Structure 1
Amino acid sequence: MAANTGLVIVGAGQAGAKAAQTLREEGFDGPIVLFGEENQHPYERPPLSKGYLLGKEERETVYVHPPQWYIKHDIDLRLGATVTAIDPAGHEVTLADGSRIGYAKLLLTTGSSPRRLPVPGADLEGVHYLRRLADSDRIKEAFRSASRIAVIGAGWIGLETAAAARAAGVEVTVLETAELPLLRVLGREVSQIFAALHTDHGVDLRCGVQVAEITGDAGRASGVLLGDGSRIGADAVIVGVGVTPNTQLATAAGLDVGNGIRVDADLRTSHPDIYAAGDVADAFHPLLGRHIRVEHWANALNQPQVAAKAMLGRGVMYDRIPYFFTDQYDLGMEYTGYVEPGGYDQVVFRGRTDTREFIAFWLAEGRVLAGMNVNVWDVTDPLRALVTSGEPVDPTRLADPDVPLSGLLGRPDSTGR
């Protein structure tokens, strides 16, 4: 029997769609099958907690490509199709209906799923998680009908949905176990700024609390009971307590799995003909010298392009520095770089934090690990250069807005700038 020359992608989100696009752009003219569990064409996730949730973006804008694109480029897009098993030795995937599809190379872009809250009442009607387009639709409807909501978890999803709810005129209580929102991600110095942002916009922010139960009335959520016995009334509850990578297929197939599917810098798994990209990939980063898993839009956009090229035998590796962004109220932010929780020894601010127009830099031994520009624009490239250079910088010059970011590397000029 002739060898299978087709390529299969499991996971029809942004990562899967961008991989299929890159395969065609790179000249691959063989069969491409793209499997997706949802009945929606591949779409981007950031609008679900930002512009689309706020009602500022139309539904059509969230899709990666229009439906006709897949037909025009001969992509066999199979929606509502669940892959239940992988046979690495036989180069086949099995679907829920029992059918099998062979492949020469396989790409896993299976993404991640919201962590469920392990408390009584978590399955009541009116308890929402945000991951899919339908979730965003349900939360928008909740904003229209609710006068008050509770948000459990002050991470990015929790804070963005809180901001959207306030924009819709809904009273919001945010409940967080840590001392500050985003504490593990940003550290105390910057987390305090986001705490103030939300309280300034009328959010009842309660940190250092434990959720004991989601209370209900006639099967529908009516509030949240805290560990200290106090109760928060709510017409709806949004839970944003993190995500878990969807590694079940990889684990069952015997692939190496750590904090996601373990892949090399070229996004190849422990099996030479299977690759992984996006939220699910625990990828070795050549500049950082370690495996990292990144759950952000830019990773789902750029990583699959490298995986697709690697599947075609190109000599490539994924070495882009992580990047993400958020929009909350009148604050727009971009973050470039990577910092382990507690992995820095200094934060340097350039600009004014009181008016929320600044750049924050996380440093370790004088080296810039990451930079976050808040309501300051067109600085991503110099921030990326600072991070990738690995050179120590003078914190005083780093904080000085009169010193161009591009002038911080190497020797100062004759003026000391």
Structure 2
Amino acid sequence: MTAAIAVIGNGVAGVSAAQTLRLEGFDGRLFLIGEEEHEPYDRTALSKAVLAGETAEPPPLMTSEQLEALDVESITGRTVVGVDSAAGTLRFADGGTLASDRLLLVTGARARVPRVPGVALSGVHTLRTSGDVKALRQAWRPGAHVVIVGGGLIGCEVATTARKVGLEVTLLEAGSELLTRVLGRQVGAWCRQRLEGLGVEVRLNTAVAEFVGRDYVSAVMTSDGNRFDVDSVLVCVGAEPNTVLAQSLGLKCDRGIVVDAAGSTDHPTIFAAGDAASWPLRSGGRRSLETYLNSQKQASAVVAAMLDRSIPAPQVPLSWTEVAGHHLQMIGDIEGPGEFVARGRIDDGPGSVFRLLGGEVVAAVAIDSPRDFAVVTRLVESRAVVSAHALGDGSSHLRDLLKGRSSPRAHI
């Protein structure tokens, strides 16, 4: 019998798991443990409303009252540094211990920091926590110059926010286009053009050679010999799953804590989900997905496994972003082999881009089309087989394609 469960990590995966455990009838002691002093909060707001100063704090994922109503024992500002699985105890950095029968590792990810001279200077920031936002905002004033290193989701979101509050922005991307991995080259180029329209200077194929300064960063030198004088720098070149605790427990890790499609590790009483977990994908392979929506889906699956009702849930990447005033939603991996089909006028209006493989809809990106995206999601999740002509015909209804799907592989 499981008398107590400890959830290590109070981000979206941890909070979702705690809620689901109670909804699924677990009535033992339930601990939700976070390293930060704050109660659980929504990190997706950090690069947008919080950084823009529109709200002082990110919205809570659960309030203290909600946690209390679910009888979740919230522990903040403490770090778990060891686990004695035989004795069923956790050990904190401050020397305290806690008894628990089963353990869920949702330890998230940490910002990747490049090995570049000067990266440790004051004024060179990363963005993962509420504290990071406050530090970055100190140098933000109208007319100040910020250099953003990395043209992924966070970099493009922050570039949008920085222009909104009146900063001069230079965005340096080492690759040949922005957002290629998550949005594909066509939509990545579309986003770059919108950012440039806001006044963001985008430099592609540009790597950082050095951050210059004595105590505080004053300039960024690039590999092509250019120098950019700055007031602050944000480095956002990806994230690394936080596997420190998992590795200390001897769990198998490979760019994340290796789990099966239900969130089980190679230890019978330890499970993992969210950004820290290397989760199997429906399309094959595995990786840490680092998305809010996948974290929720994984939390639901791992709870079933923790309650001995294992239901495998290989994942389909699912996320969203806001760039230059546009709302983009993504499902599946848009980069890959197959045929690309555009629907609508993505240059000047709502539209979508799809990737078909063998006629099957395997991925899509929707631009300012939230109503359509609900149907798009079902097309991908049901593995619908449709014709490229029908998919690209904006005069037809997407729901009709869903009704007429003919894939023998149709399942979620």
TM-score normalised by L of structure 1: 0.92
Partner SS for 1:403: coil
Note if contact 1:321-1:384 (Cα within 8 Å) is conserved in structure 2: no
| Equivalent residue for 1:272, pick from 268, 282, 286 | 268
The reply on whether 1:128 has 2:121 as its aligned counterpart is no
- Partner AA of 2:395 in structure 1: D
- Provide the residue aligned with 2:246 in structure 1: 250
Unaligned runs of 5+ in 1: 413-417
Deviation at 1:91, TM superposition (A): 2.9
- Provide the residue aligned with 2:84 in structure 1: 87
| Equivalent residue for 2:182, pick from 180, 185, 193 | 185
Deviation at 1:189, TM superposition (A): 2.0
The reply on whether 1:115 has 2:108 as its aligned counterpart is no
Find the aligned partners of 2:313 and 2:22 in 1 and give their Cα distance: 19
- Partner AA of 1:353 in structure 2: I
1:8-47 correspondence runs (5 A): 8-47=6-45
- Provide the residue aligned with 1:78 in structure 2: 75
- Partner AA of 1:357 in structure 2: P
- Partner AA of 2:40 in structure 1: P
Deviates more, 1:33-42 or 1:362-371: 362-371
Alpha-carbon distance change, 207 to 259 in structure 1, aligned in 2, over 3 angstroms? same
The reply on whether 1:203 has 2:200 as its aligned counterpart is yes
- Partner AA of 2:221 in structure 1: L
The reply on whether 1:230 has 2:223 as its aligned counterpart is no
Deviation at 1:356, TM superposition (A): 4.3
The reply on whether 1:372 has 2:365 as its aligned counterpart is yes
Find the aligned partners of 1:239 and 1:127 in 2 and give their Cα distance: 7
Deviation at 1:86, TM superposition (A): 2.4
- Provide the residue aligned with 1:395 in structure 2: 388
Deviations 1:57-99 (A, max 9, x none): 452x521111222233322211111111223333332211233
Find the aligned partners of 1:142 and 1:369 in 2 and give their Cα distance: 43
Alpha-carbon distance change, 12 to 388 in structure 1, aligned in 2, over 3 angstroms? closer
Deviation at 1:30, TM superposition (A): 1.2
Partner SS for 1:408: helix
- Partner AA of 1:195 in structure 2: R
- Provide the residue aligned with 1:263 in structure 2: 259
Alpha-carbon distance change, 212 to 276 in structure 1, aligned in 2, over 3 angstroms? same
- Provide the residue aligned with 1:404 in structure 2: 397
Partner SS for 1:62: coil
- Provide the residue aligned with 1:384 in structure 2: 377
Note if contact 1:88-1:271 (Cα within 8 Å) is conserved in structure 2: no
Deviations 1:172-205 (A, max 9, x none): 0000110111123333222211111111111110
Deviations 1:8-63 (A, max 9, x none): 1111222212211222222222111222111011111110112222233452x521
Deviates more, 1:19-28 or 1:220-229: 19-28
Deviation at 1:292, TM superposition (A): 3.4
- Provide the residue aligned with 1:292 in structure 2: 287
CA RMSD of aligned residues (A): 2.1
Alpha-carbon distance change, 319 to 57 in structure 1, aligned in 2, over 3 angstroms? farther
| Equivalent residue for 1:97, pick from 94, 97, 121 | 94
Deviation at 1:220, TM superposition (A): 1.0
Deviation at 1:325, TM superposition (A): 0.8
Note if contact 2:344-2:350 (Cα within 8 Å) is conserved in structure 1: yes
Note if contact 2:152-2:178 (Cα within 8 Å) is conserved in structure 1: yes
Find the aligned partners of 1:317 and 1:4 in 2 and give their Cα distance: 21
Q: Percent identity?
A: 36
Note if contact 2:280-2:315 (Cα within 8 Å) is conserved in structure 1: no
Note if contact 1:189-1:347 (Cα within 8 Å) is conserved in structure 2: no
Alpha-carbon distance change, 102 to 146 in structure 1, aligned in 2, over 3 angstroms? farther
Deviations 1:252-278 (A, max 9, x none): 211121221111121111112111111
Find the aligned partners of 2:178 and 2:229 in 1 and give their Cα distance: 21
Deviation at 1:366, TM superposition (A): 2.5
How many residue pairs get aligned? The number is 406
